[in-house]
Amino acid sequence: MSIRKTKGRGTRYDSILDTVGDTPCIRLNRIAPKHVEVYVKFEAFNPAGSVKDRLALNIIEAAERDGRLAPGQTVVEATSGNTGIGLAMVCAAKGYPLVLTMAESFSIERRKLMRFLGAKVVLTPKELKGFGMYSKAKELAEENGWFLASQFETADNADIHEATTAREILGDFAGERLDYWVTGYGTGGTVSGVARVLRQERPETRIILSEPANAAIVGSGYVNTRNGAHQTTESHPNFEPHPIQGWTPDFIPWVLQEAIDEGYYDALIPVEGPDGIAWSRRLAREEGIFTGISGGATVAVAMQLAETAPDGSVMLVMLPDTGERYLSTPLFEGVEEVMTEEEQAISMSTPSAQMGEG
């Protein structure tokens, strides 16, 4: 086998923002059943590490184009982390001040990443759940005349997935089978935008949507109330806290409502949080793919589907982000900071550089 070689992308980029999108589809070789082919679309290849870079960029650029966002105006948004990190990257590159609201229950490294990129982070009490940070962002926008990014309501969210994510999938599977596309939801932009295209151009592809088993708000059948601007006015009564950060806020966003109303998914499969953690760990240790709990949860659903899928089926699974923003979460419980007994034994097997030597 010859050494691997690279030759560059054949282009130079004018801005970090020009590198958003065109994330790779990667085959799972060790953990997928042999009778199916499972690929993951690894959104951690976006420059700020998640699928939310796409909507963050389009929300700002669409608002610039139509005049909703003035030069130098402060941007504000509620976030569980990934959208905030994406917006912080975009606002840093374009020169907009950014204020983000986030429930204190989300991982500490997320707020540090947003602050590192220059954003201000306003924390809200965890007992108020996602609705608390959502209400705080709306209040700050109204009081200060700031631009509210409105990721949960704006058409700019699903539109970018229709224009980019979906087109990338079509290109990567052109002339090939694609029997299942599997995704979770946060705002609902990914499923609504991609499904618009798949329903039209790949109608044979079954779209599988997932949500946490203990926060199955879509599966409950109850739709939370909204005002005339499509903004949520209540916390969903069927929501419970869950470990799949970035998935399923405690309300059904307007962007997701499109997928529900239009029948953009063929099955809704709940997944347990611990299963998401287990499959994220397996992806890392058996495939070398480092994704978060949400990615692990989506793969868990795909592996459940694979058990009864016909031979030769091809699946594509969305991996929303990188695992690095989960370091302080249950995903990393049991990962030692000091040497384990096995590691100590390895160290002791040769005489040099022993820990504890004077």
Instruction: List Cα–Cα distances, 25 to 181, 251, 318, 321, in angstroms.
Output: 12, 31, 9, 14
What is d(CA 148, CA 136) in angstroms, rounded to the nearest whole number? 11
**What is the DSSP-derived secondary structure letter of residue 105?**
T
Would you state the structure tokens that stand for residue 241, as one six-digit string?
């806290």
Residues of the chain with pLDDT under 70: 357-358
Domain residue ranges of the chain, discontinuous segments joined by +: 16-50+165-332, 52-148
Strands 314-319 vs 180-183: parallel, antiparallel or unpaired: parallel
**What is the DSSP-derived secondary structure letter of residue 287?**
I
Q: Among 80, 107, 294, 313, which one carries the catalytic annotation?
A: 294
What is d(CA 69, CA 221) in angstroms, rounded to the nearest whole number? 36
- pLDDT for 199-212, tens place per residue? 999 999 999 999 99
The pLDDT score that the predictor gives to residue 283 is 98
Strands 37-42 vs 314-319: parallel, antiparallel or unpaired: parallel
Residue 163 CB coordination number (10 Å): 14
The pLDDT score that the predictor gives to residue 65 is 97
The CA-to-CA distance between both ends of the chain, in Å, stands at: 46
pTM for the full predicted model: 0.94
Q: What kind of architecture, by CATH, is found in domain 52-148?
A: 3-Layer(aba) Sandwich (3.40)
The CATH number of 16-50+165-332 is which of 3.40.30.10, 2.40.40.20, 3.40.50.1100, 3.30.200.20?
3.40.50.1100
Query: 3-class SS at 251?
Result: coil
The pLDDT score that the predictor gives to residue 16 is 98
Helices (H) and strands (E) in the chain, counts: 12, 10
Contact 204, 168 (CB under 8 A): no
Question: CB under 8 Å to 216, separation ≥6 — which residues?
Answer: 238, 270
The pLDDT score that the predictor gives to residue 358 is 37
Would you state the structure tokens that stand for residue 311, as one six-digit string?
């031979």
Q: Do the domains 16-50+165-332 and 52-148 sit in the same CATH topology, yes or no?
A: yes
Please say if 52 is a catalytic residue. Answer: yes
Strands 147-148 vs 314-319: parallel, antiparallel or unpaired: unpaired
What is d(CA 259, CA 143) in angstroms, rounded to the nearest whole number? 33
What is d(CA 5, CA 280) in angstroms, rounded to the nearest whole number? 30
What is d(CA 211, CA 217) in angstroms, rounded to the nearest whole number? 8
Angle at 156 (CA atoms; ends 153, 161), nearest 5 degrees: 110
Contact 342, 204 (CB under 8 A): no
What is d(CA 282, CA 276) in angstroms, rounded to the nearest whole number? 10
Q: Among 52, 129, 136, 138, which one carries the catalytic annotation?
A: 52
